Structure 1
Amino acid sequence: MNLASLDLNLVVALRALLEERNVTRAGRRIGLSQPAMSGALSRLRRHFDDDLLARVGGHYELTALGQVLLDRTSTACELLERLFTSQADFDPAVESREFTLGVSDYSVAVFGGDFTRILDREAPGIRVRFVQVPAGITETAGAVLSTLDGVIVPHGLIRDFPATELYEDGWVFLVAEDNPEVGDHLSHDDLARLPWVTYLRAYDSPAIRQLGTLGIEPRVSVSVDSFTVLPFLIAGTRRIALVPALLAERLRGIAAVRVMAPPYETVPLREALWWHPVHTHDAGHTWLRDTAARAASAVRARPIRSTDDEDPAVRSREG
């Protein structure tokens, strides 16, 4: 397909038609008259050799192809908007711009405070929006990155896209303070015997996979799509949970749990900011990446305190 032969205005019209499913409303949305919008629909139908919108009773519904194009058109429009808003120069002190980053609640808890404090000091007109990374990021990285300014996820989930290294973290276990089945130190037997609470998504998968090499199969009794609620699901129970050490430090004291060292050498978690190549040379995005790296330096420099003199679990983070 030769892009030079296409009218890219039809991409905007296609998105409006597929989302509104009404010619008049679609035209009003993008500033076209009803006849002009009908003409755009006719051209699109000829191009795709498909009706796209099919009348059912008194309203229109998407055809099978129209349904496929719905998500693709939205992604294409967002990528084009990001492409054509790229800047050669960027002064954070005077610019007004919003950046959207895909994150987990772990990333926001550990990294978000330092990052947004820099924005407050140096870029008062810059806004940041944190959104949850889709569960299928490993399989849909290109599509996700085309609609965001970047995602903050560990290595091992995304490949073949540019990234800025942020910080490295270790792993610790959470155990209820009143769990009589766990002594001063966790054992391999404890990990195999006790019920687990796990994070539902893929972020901890390298750490969980590592247990398999040790012959340990976690007995998962509860799974949840949030790291920060894990302490509340541990307190007062027999359950245990594997969590990043930096997060455990920030959650210290919010629930009656102990932070304990793993009985094995864990694989470190290496967090990075990943982005679509379309952003690489944009001055604003370059500033965003540099600022994220500066915020990560503060994360790396902050020491982790031990729970008490007898508990070395989080005296230093691993790696």
Structure 2
Amino acid sequence: MDLRSLDMNLLLPLHALLEERSVSRAAERLSLSQPALSASLAKLRRLFGDELLVRHGNSYELSPLAVSLRERTWVAVQTMERLFSAEAEFEPSTSDRDFRILGADYAFRMAGRELAMAVSAVAPRVRLTFETLSRETMEAAPESLRDCDGMILPHGFISSDRYMDLLDDRWVVVAARDNPELGDELTVDDLATLPWVLAMSRTTQFTPAMRQMQTLGIEPLVEVVTPSFVTLPALVSGTRRLGLLQERLALAVQGLHGLRVLEFPVPIAPIKDAFWWNGMYDADPGHVWLRGMLAQVAESMAGEVDGRAEA
């Protein structure tokens, strides 16, 4: 397809129509008249050879093609916004740039707060958008790094030389403080006989630590699966269950949920989370500044680990 023949003015109406599923709401969102949006919809239908919005009773639903276009259209709009908001220089105190970072809830719980505080102190109009990373986006990396400012992920998931180590952690086991089946220390037998809560986005997607246990012949009895590490402690509290959690998060929530934090009785590899980005941002002044903020966060969090180790 020849891009010169396309009407690029149709991108924003397409995005609004797919998001709102309504001509009137899309028109209001873009501050346009309904006849203008209806004309854009007619052009889009001719362009794609598809209805896109299909009437069902008093409302519209997306056609199968429109469903497949919705995510790609959102990415295109984001890319366009970043392209035309590029700056020769970056002034934190006046910039209103939106940095979009993908990662797991654990990373945002531990590092996101520190980054947000550091950024707001010097750049009050800058916005940080934290988004939960989907398995599909992670598997498409490093190509998918073009569609965001970066991802916070452990080593081993992305093959790229553009990263900054952000935080170190290790896996621990959490259990209810009043669990009568546990002694002073966790045993290998406990790992195999007590039920587990695991944080997985899919029921077959084990964490590296759990896979290490399996290689040692320890098959967990999985009773509950949750997509979030942050919700895991509540599902352990007051039960016989064990939970696999990062130590930083476990120590932060143990008092709230009445939990014990227990050492693994078998060797488990540590966690090393890093911030990964696409090479097109190497010389971007705003992105260079963002990486500087992340470096400050990494340094402060490393100090927290050192202080705990000495306690």
Which residue identity is paired with 1:112?
G
Alignment correspondent of 1:311: none
After the TM superposition, which of the residue ranges 31-40 and 234-243 deviates more from structure 2? 31-40
Aligned: 1:264 with 2:287: no
Report how far residue 289 of structure 1 moved.
1.9
Distance in 2 separating the partners of 1:22 and 1:171: 47
Aligned: 1:121 with 2:111: no
User: For 1:203-214, what aligned pairs fall within 5 Å after superposition?
Assistant: 205-214=207-216
Which residue identity is paired with 2:124?
P
Report how far residue 195 of structure 1 moved.
1.2
Contact 1:234 1:240 in 2 (8 A): yes
Distance in 1 separating the partners of 2:32 and 2:236: 57
Cα distance change on mapping 1:4 and 1:34 into 2, 3 Å: same
Alignment correspondent of 1:190: 190
Distance in 2 separating the partners of 1:141 and 1:130: 17
Identity across matched positions, percent? 42
State the secondary structure of the residue aligned to 2:305. Answer: coil
1:6-44 deviations in whole A, cap 9, x for unaligned?
222122232233344555654554355556545544443
State the secondary structure of the residue aligned to 2:156. Answer: coil
State the secondary structure of the residue aligned to 2:261. Answer: strand
Alignment correspondent of 1:156: 156
* Equivalent residues, number: 308
Aligned: 1:76 with 2:79: no
Report how far residue 175 of structure 1 moved.
2.8
Cα distance change on mapping 1:121 and 1:240 into 2, 3 Å: same
Q: What are the ranges of 5 or more consecutive residues in structure 1 without an aligned counterpart?
A: 307-314
Aligned: 1:240 with 2:242: yes
State the secondary structure of the residue aligned to 1:302. Answer: helix
Contact 2:142 2:158 in 1 (8 A): no
Cα distance change on mapping 1:220 and 1:4 into 2, 3 Å: same
Report how far residue 201 of structure 1 moved.
3.0
User: For 1:92-111, what aligned pairs fall within 5 Å after superposition?
Assistant: 92-111=92-111
Contact 2:142 2:159 in 1 (8 A): no
Q: What are the ranges of 5 or more consecutive residues in structure 2 without an aligned counterpart?
A: none
Cα distance change on mapping 1:80 and 1:235 into 2, 3 Å: same
Higher helix share: 2
Q: TM-score, normalization: structure 1?
A: 0.80
Alignment correspondent of 1:217: 219
Report how far residue 209 of structure 1 moved.
1.0
After superposition, the CA RMSD in angstroms is 3.2
State the secondary structure of the residue aligned to 2:12. Answer: helix
Distance in 2 separating the partners of 1:225 and 1:52: 32
Contact 2:200 2:207 in 1 (8 A): no
Distance in 1 separating the partners of 2:111 and 2:181: 34
Contact 1:249 1:305 in 2 (8 A): no
Contact 1:166 1:292 in 2 (8 A): yes
Report how far residue 192 of structure 1 moved.
0.7
Contact 1:186 1:260 in 2 (8 A): yes
Distance in 1 separating the partners of 2:44 and 2:280: 27
Which residue identity is paired with 1:265?
P
Report how far residue 65 of structure 1 moved.
2.1
Distance in 2 separating the partners of 1:275 and 1:37: 37
